[in-house]
Homo-oligomer: A and B are copies of this chain.
Amino acid sequence: MSDPTKDGGTRRAFLTGAAGIAGAVGVAGSATALDRQETGPAVPFFGPHQAGIATPMQPHCYFAAFDLTTDKKEEIAALLRAWTEASAKLARGQAIGDLDRDPAAPPVDSGEARDLSPARLTLTFGFGASLFTKDGVDRYGLAKHRPEALVDLPRFVGDQLVPERTGGDLSVQACGDDPQAVFHAVRQLGRLADGVAKLRWVQSGFVSGYGPKTTPRNLMGFKDGTITVPISDPSAMERFVWVGDEGGGWMRGGAYVVARPIRIALEHWDRMKLGFQEQTMGRHKTSGAPIGGKSEFEPLDLAANDTDGNPLIAENAHARLAAPETNDGAQVLRRSYSYDNGVSFVAERWPPWRQGMEIDAGLLFVCYQRDPRTGFIKIFDRMSKFDMMNQFVTHIGGGLFACPGGVSNGRYIGQGLFEAA
């Protein structure tokens, strides 16, 4: 059994791929092209920031975390270069290399996206804390470059993190218009990583109805992401999302991502009265307006009381606890997807103590921020203790990853870190 990535195949594949693109450019309509139709929208991979952060949300997501298996820093750098070059092609709607040139070799690209458009594919890479220090060991001589902001996430109240679905040395968020395109992208990255890193956990997700003035609904049936950093506001993005000089050169223009699959007890939530659901959220279900309000984007009136003198938006309502007003102004860029992992057996922890198959679905919570200590951790620490919604949701995995700044063509993601080390 031959292995294309074992015998220098990775590098060779990229050389072949590069030649293939040149060939395709030279021979319009040639059947030898290694690539998909270059129709449909494409999001450039190269730029000052990684794509997939300030990019309007695409309907499909595939988040993957990898464990490094190599002990050589140089192999990680080579992998990141390979991933960068592959990502640039994938974002253009191309295969990462030879699809059908050599019958005597495995195709470099598995081919299932061959006929698809670029599908606005974005690939956003991140580094976990364990890349720098794992079990107290400086594995690759990178420990001194670990950003202060790349903390170990604290254990939050209620966390039920499954180790196999938590952490990871490297991460990638693949987003696009097409589920097959995002799956294909992560699959190719996994193949390129063979012998250097292996998949640790993955989670696919979907979101429907996202638009410039439209907030999508999550599986609780509520709008999700009403209060977020506006991607169209550069100064807000600079303030809350993009890392500045504080992060070391390689993190400038980058961001920290928290990605956590949150299982929702849909069967229980669905049995709650509408009024209770709305009190839990602090918002009306249909309109998304704050309790007592009319429209989704009006400000939360946190001081308002009802006729009994109780807060209109409950003290432990989700919207109150998440609001910048109650978090010293903290904000994160939310980019969450719903997930659905089928059904699984659950033994309930509360009456009526049922046991049986329940829908294993929820929210792949994803947020970007300039510093998680003043972003997700700041906000979620209090929510994890008091949010009424916690009755229905359980964080089951995920992690925090430092996403380096973007790069220009010819450089690779994270190159500044590996050159500095």
Binding site for B on A (CB under 8 A): 1-4, 31, 59-60, 99-100, 102-107, 110-116, 178-181, 183, 187, 190-191, 198-204, 206-209, 214, 217-222, 266, 268-275, 277-278, 284-286, 338, 340-343, 351-352, 356-357, 359, 361
Q: A107-B274, A199-B359 are in contact. Are A100 and B343 (CB under 8 A)?
A: no
Residues of B near A116 (CB, < 8 A) are: 208-209
Q: This chain: how many copies in the complex?
A: 2
Please give me the residue from chain B that is nearest to A102 by CB atom: B274
Beta-carbon contact of B273 and A219 below 8 Å: no
A217: chain B residues at CB < 8 Å are 111-115, 180
Contacts of A2 in B (CB 8 A): 271, 273
For the complex of A and B, 7 pairs with smallest distance between CB atoms: A111-B221, A103-B275, A180-B208, A179-B206, A100-B286, A112-B217, A112-B221
Beyond A103-B275, A190-B359, A199-B359, 17 extra complex contacts between A and B, CB < 8 Å: A2-B273, A3-B271, A99-B286, A100-B286, A103-B278, A110-B220, A111-B222, A111-B285, A114-B217, A114-B221, A179-B340, A183-B219, A183-B338, A187-B359, A199-B357, A200-B357, A202-B343
Would A115 and B4 count as touching, CB distance under 8 A? no
Minimal beta-carbon separation of A294 from chain B (angstroms): 10
| A340 cross-chain contacts in B, Cβ below 8 A | 179, 183, 204
Q: Are the C-beta atoms of B202 and A180 separated by less than 8 Å?
A: no
A198 touches B357 (CB 8 A): yes
Nearest B residue to A109 via CB reads B221
